[in-house]
Structure 1
């Protein structure tokens, strides 16, 4: 009894802390780009979309209707659902284990970083975890005794999963295989109540299938074909270290040991949990050698870990005390690190500190600064000015900030890479090849979403689509690591259109980002500007000009890099070099940037990144 009370107290205390942390972080964390697009889908209600079934979008929409238009409102129902999930783990474990051990399983759910952190963002993983636990709870009950209530719960769980994501098919497949391997499970599959529940769950896939039939299987092709190389590659071997990082090594080992140890257990419920969870984790491990590795996939095995959590107390009970303590310490540290990461991303100061590093959270950054600049600039333009976004990320984030879910978007490569292009086309929000008549308009371009090697082509495509472009207004965030260009496209007069002059492209070769520099140092790089050419280049510290560069030095690299596509009249003499004297500047961290003045008089800031000034003279 005392052990049970201690476990329950620890679980409730930990649950309160985790839920409170989630609410605080969810209120402050900027909206992730996928969340913003799901919000946009929620403003165009449908049974299914090009990237997902409808439930995620509906849940975000309902949260907004109940609690307002804030970021927390959009995530509110996901936070609430995620808070209920550990209790479902306890419910399943309590039925199969001693009550004291059930609370240990619940603590494991709260300590597992990948599971503890869901709900901070409005993503389908929350709903899939709910569906998984509902199905497992119903099935483990029915392995003891079939009831109409359990069959209804199974049907609801299957429907929620079907309406959440394509990936729930993996959980269904694993559960079906597990039932077939258990004699009592095979009996369940012959029971009319279970058959009806499965049929109900299968019917929940119909909206998604109907959408694909009507749209040339665009969603299925993206999820199953387009995004995956389906060729053997070595990246799958990184599955284990990645999972060890997001689950923590000892907790991962305990869950995998549970899957192996209980795969043939006489208790059918424990065997079902072990088999279904193990099959999901092993399946995604094998898939990693053939599937997409460019996008985030570390969370895919989560339904498998959810199934294995009730087995955790039984595994830990066989370990020595020191190893159990170490397991909990590392798991709690991992959970705090995961939530701490989101808290850090919520801080503009900490986001700026990570700029120009591989850890920079670009998809969370710059949206507030961009929305403020768009509001201000649009207010200065004629009434009826339309905002046009560079890609689905910009369109969705601006749509949320401006309360406009119908911002037109250019046919960007990102739209296709993330499976959003068919949905934008269905909404009529994809801008055609000739958009020269779309004036007045405020065109918002995100250069950071295009590879440097493809940026010139992107700018030239803008010229073909919109005609002459005015000099852009540059919007910087995080010291310049996040950069947007605003083009105010005014109505055309009767005169013949002027030639289109694309924005400049510049690169700082030296010094490198994060480099520690003396008071006087040299900087070099290159800059090009099609048609108009570059008139001068200046170096800036925190936006203040500190040196004029010598421009027009010979450099064949930009010409080779762009394959002769550039129309800069100075090529190949487009390099610059400058001696920067910062002896009057206090030591510390500064943003070193490039300011390019074009032959047309335009001034653009470019290539800002952090450097450390020591204040010392060069030895």
Structure 2
């Protein structure tokens, strides 16, 4: 007789119900792998990547702690100071607080999405917060965007919680987000304005805005703007005018179309389309949270797109719409679920490739040889390049000048970069168009670091400057070439005739620094003596040449003139050329030139390359010999030897 199988009458344990589904486990594992991989790569790159100019100025602000500054509220400078205080005066130390803040963003996106749409969508949205190139590289540079992104996500989360249930906890989170945002950047005003509008357009949002706890949170956030308001009131609204008036043309221009195209490329095209579709789908959805995310994200993105047709095009602005994309991320997984599997996979793949490409750019910037090869390209990363070489040259020059030697920088860029490299936050800075263009001139004035004429330095910086030798460091590559001679003459009016410079050419001269030694015996006025100027008319940059080719151009040196022009290939002399041909067009263009040889400043000759010169790319340059004994290496240009 067969036995009847035993039947298990036990009730399933509670743990059986709590076991994550396979889809959730898979989404969680992918998120965790991505998070660890992205964070590890960012830490490695951040430790090697040369400091961007703005990063060093925030370091400088952090060495002069204040509630607010001419260009930004105080938080970025405070974080920079915290980073170097805990992690040392290194690239990674400076960036560490920003990396840690950025690391919290994908976890918050995951939490928001999981609460509203389930854990699978939560982990997927968190993964896209890592893959979205603008978000995945957050914190890699010590810039205000990391803190602003955190503030945005906190406000998004608080708003979604308030739509579900009015609570003190959600109001407190809103107050925290508004406070961090107010201390991060002027641009956070857009998040506040659009967020308030999004709540007003949702019925449950209007209900939330009638709660006194919400208005208490808003009042706390508004109070966080007080240091910035006080700074502007005390400084003739200089910061506000720069951010909202001076830097923007406020006239329609078609470059805005390019801004939209750049956004599609930076976000990656498929992910960009999916985010826009998510915003449209969420706006038409029935859930209050979906409409809130769609309105907040969509209006921010569209607002910045519209602004692109009227606002500043000279400075980097591709990161402006990031808060809008962050608001749309919780809606993204549902849209992708409706796409064919192959298209979903392609979206994940292209987003990952986009992040790899952006990370690859930063890796390339970190490798000196790759930077040097890009010297003739438009995308050459000038704001990252040359600072270590310059610092080494300055240390050598100051060592030769003696322990009393003082240092003066030609612009805020040089002052901040050398300040970080040398550990000196008190380097005086000459007036420069860049100081005004980037809103740093008022801050330098407040720190008493804006250097006036040379004869005023003892009174301005103390009598120790009276007889001390001074090393002036300028970057000729920071000025458009057509304005460079005018800049030299401006320096002569402030400092007197310029002594022969020590030239530091980085990456074939794409970054070019000039170091001038001044002492108290040198005149503070007189006929302008300036560094040499030159141009190679032929061969042109990138031209293919035979092993024997003609070279022609012009060169001059104001105040003293040139005696000799030498041609170099890969920094080695290969020919002397005839100098002194008449160039009336050159004299007419450089009308203020006082070179005694004008207009006889042309040169020409023939270059014969030896058998040791290989075919392929080489770098053609000049060595300019002044009548005062100076020798200046001119920037090189590539040629292809066939």
TM-score under structure 2 normalisation? Answer: 0.93
Aligned pair partner of 2:303 in 274, 278, 283:
283
Report the counterpart of residue 253 of structure 1 in structure 2: 273
Q: From the superposition, tell whether residues 496 and 337 of structure 1 become closer, same or farther in structure 2 (CA, over 3 Å).
A: closer
Report the counterpart of residue 257 of structure 2 in structure 1: 237
Structure-to-structure mapping, 1:175-574, within 5 angstroms: 175-435=195-455, 439-492=468-521, 499-562=527-590, 564-574=591-601
- In structure 2, runs of 5+ residues without a counterpart are 1-20, 458-464
Aligned pair partner of 2:624 in 588, 596, 614:
596
| 1:81 and 2:110 correspond | no
Asked if the contact 1:543–1:593 (Cα under 8 Å) also holds between the matched residues in 2, the reply is yes
1:15 is paired with a residue whose SS is helix
Aligned pair partner of 2:641 in 610, 613, 617:
613
Tell me by how many angstroms 1:418 deviates. Answer: 0.5
Report the counterpart of residue 617 of structure 1 in structure 2: none
Aligned pair partner of 1:582 in 598, 603, 609:
609
2:383 is paired with a residue whose SS is helix
Tell me by how many angstroms 1:588 deviates. Answer: 4.0
Asked if the contact 1:539–1:578 (Cα under 8 Å) also holds between the matched residues in 2, the reply is no
Asked if the contact 1:448–1:483 (Cα under 8 Å) also holds between the matched residues in 2, the reply is yes
| 1:113 and 2:140 correspond | no
Tell me by how many angstroms 1:266 deviates. Answer: 1.9
Asked if the contact 1:508–1:526 (Cα under 8 Å) also holds between the matched residues in 2, the reply is yes
Q: Deviations over 1:558-603 (max 9, x none)?
A: 22322x2111122222121121111332334322111111121211
Tell me by how many angstroms 1:500 deviates. Answer: 4.1
Asked if the contact 2:162–2:205 (Cα under 8 Å) also holds between the matched residues in 1, the reply is no
Q: From the superposition, tell whether residues 491 and 100 of structure 1 become closer, same or farther in structure 2 (CA, over 3 Å).
A: same
Q: Deviations over 1:500-544 (max 9, x none)?
A: 411111112222333333211222221111121111111111221
- Count of paired positions: 612
Structure 2 distance, partners of 1:544, 1:583, is 12
Structure 2 distance, partners of 1:519, 1:128, is 56
Q: In angstroms, what is the RMSD of aligned CA positions? A: 1.4
Report the counterpart of residue 170 of structure 1 in structure 2: 190
Structure 2 distance, partners of 1:511, 1:194, is 68
- The more displaced of 603-612 and 441-450 is 603-612
2:210 is paired with a residue whose SS is coil
Asked if the contact 1:277–1:307 (Cα under 8 Å) also holds between the matched residues in 2, the reply is yes
The higher-RCO structure (CA 8 Å, 6+ apart) is 1
- The more displaced of 539-548 and 31-40 is 539-548
Structure 2 distance, partners of 1:357, 1:552, is 32
2:512 is paired with a residue whose SS is strand
1:406 is paired with a residue whose SS is coil
| 1:96 and 2:124 correspond | no
Tell me by how many angstroms 1:149 deviates. Answer: 1.5
Structure 1 distance, partners of 2:274, 2:582, is 61
- The more displaced of 603-612 and 138-147 is 603-612
CA radius of gyration, larger in: 2
Asked if the contact 1:434–1:464 (Cα under 8 Å) also holds between the matched residues in 2, the reply is no
Structure 2 distance, partners of 1:23, 1:612, is 39
1:536 is paired with a residue whose SS is strand
Structure 1 distance, partners of 2:428, 2:441, is 12
Tell me by how many angstroms 1:612 deviates. Answer: 2.9
Structure 2 distance, partners of 1:206, 1:498, is 49
Tell me by how many angstroms 1:305 deviates. Answer: 0.3
- The more displaced of 428-437 and 403-412 is 428-437
- The more displaced of 99-108 and 368-377 is 99-108
Q: Deviations over 1:411-442 (max 9, x none)?
A: 00000000000000111111113447555110
Structure 1 distance, partners of 2:541, 2:24, is 54
Structure 2 distance, partners of 1:43, 1:516, is 51
2:635 is paired with a residue whose SS is strand
2:164 is paired with a residue whose SS is coil
Tell me by how many angstroms 1:381 deviates. Answer: 0.8
Q: From the superposition, tell whether residues 436 and 568 of structure 1 become closer, same or farther in structure 2 (CA, over 3 Å).
A: farther
Tell me which stretches of 4 or more aligned residues in structure 1 moved more than 6 Å.
495-498
Structure 1 distance, partners of 2:474, 2:248, is 28
Structure 1 distance, partners of 2:170, 2:86, is 30
1:470 is paired with a residue whose SS is coil
Structure 1 distance, partners of 2:638, 2:47, is 29
Asked if the contact 2:505–2:635 (Cα under 8 Å) also holds between the matched residues in 1, the reply is no
Tell me by how many angstroms 1:78 deviates. Answer: 0.8
| 1:70 and 2:90 correspond | yes
Structure 1 distance, partners of 2:553, 2:267, is 43
Structure 2 distance, partners of 1:160, 1:320, is 40
1:578 is paired with a residue whose SS is strand
| 1:6 and 2:26 correspond | yes
Asked if the contact 1:25–1:342 (Cα under 8 Å) also holds between the matched residues in 2, the reply is yes
Asked if the contact 2:495–2:525 (Cα under 8 Å) also holds between the matched residues in 1, the reply is no
1:294 is paired with a residue whose SS is coil
